[in-house]
A = this chain, B = another copy of it.
């Protein structure tokens, strides 16, 4: 989908809960084209969800569901030994809950990207990936499944006949096999906005990225993710967007015409 050079920018938003605010949602909404909206299990509550969908609509940002494990205190970042059936039904519940705000807010639900530990488990474990794809397909087979290319999650989406979209990461270093460098290794996080911008421009226009150990990785993506909790995430997204737009790359949601 990068022909003519257009790309999507996605970030996690709407992760506040009750009196708690988290993440620079206001700034990011002006920069991204797709918002992964928390659905109440790892963050987000019905008021936050409604406001986030309304803000997405106001900014012309596509809405994606960002379902997670039911673990508010762990922010959905702790893997849980949930069964496939538990994952499938938990995702269905969260899709429906968020969609209620999409339907009443006039901003259609476009895609699904699992959150945190659920994402990390799903990219590696086919049964969990299939549970998610099964839930998405049963709910609405036009929903796009967004994930890292070459993972069990993309494979499960394709096997289920779902449209899929592939994402790269502006704030993360890569291994030669296309996986992300573990956060435990120095250099895993890319926090210099200009470096991130350089890398993402090359990724979008050439389909290539330098790995941490200096190799050239071929990678095709439909979206660039910047984690909203990476230090300086707003500056990174700003630099990436400016660099891409300066080079004539259009920023728009994947799947958009």
Contacts and interface: CB of A to CB of B under 8 A. Distances in A.
Interface in A65-99: 70-75, 77-82, 85-86, 89-90, 92-99
A127 to B, nearest CB: 15
A49 B93 contact: yes
Contacts of A103: 96, 139
Contact of A97 (B75, B81, B97): B97
A17 B97 contact: no
A22 interface: yes
A18 B74 contact: yes
Given A90-B46, A100-B139, A81 B79 contact: yes
Chain B CB count within 10 A is highest, among A17, A70, A85, A93, for A93
A182 interface: no
Interface residues of A, number: 46
A217 to B, nearest CB: 28
A50 B86 CA distance: 11
Contacts of A40: 93
A239 B21 CA distance: 27
Given A95-B100, A96-B97, A99-B96, A89 B139 contact: no
A138 interface: yes
Given A79-B81, A139-B100, A45 B18 contact: no
A117 interface: yes
Given A19-B75, A89-B101, A95-B100, 11 more contacts: A18-B72, A18-B73, A18-B74, A19-B43, A19-B77, A21-B22, A46-B86, A70-B71, A70-B73, A78-B86, A92-B100
27 contacts: A16-B20, A17-B17, A17-B72, A17-B73, A18-B73, A19-B77, A20-B20, A46-B86, A46-B89, A46-B90, A50-B92, A70-B71, A72-B72, A78-B80, A78-B81, A79-B80, A92-B100, A92-B101, A92-B104, A93-B100, A93-B101, A94-B97, A96-B98, A96-B99, A96-B101, A104-B138, A104-B139
Interface of A: 16-22, 40, 43, 45-47, 49-50, 70-75, 77-82, 85-86, 89-90, 92-101, 103-104, 117, 138-139, 229
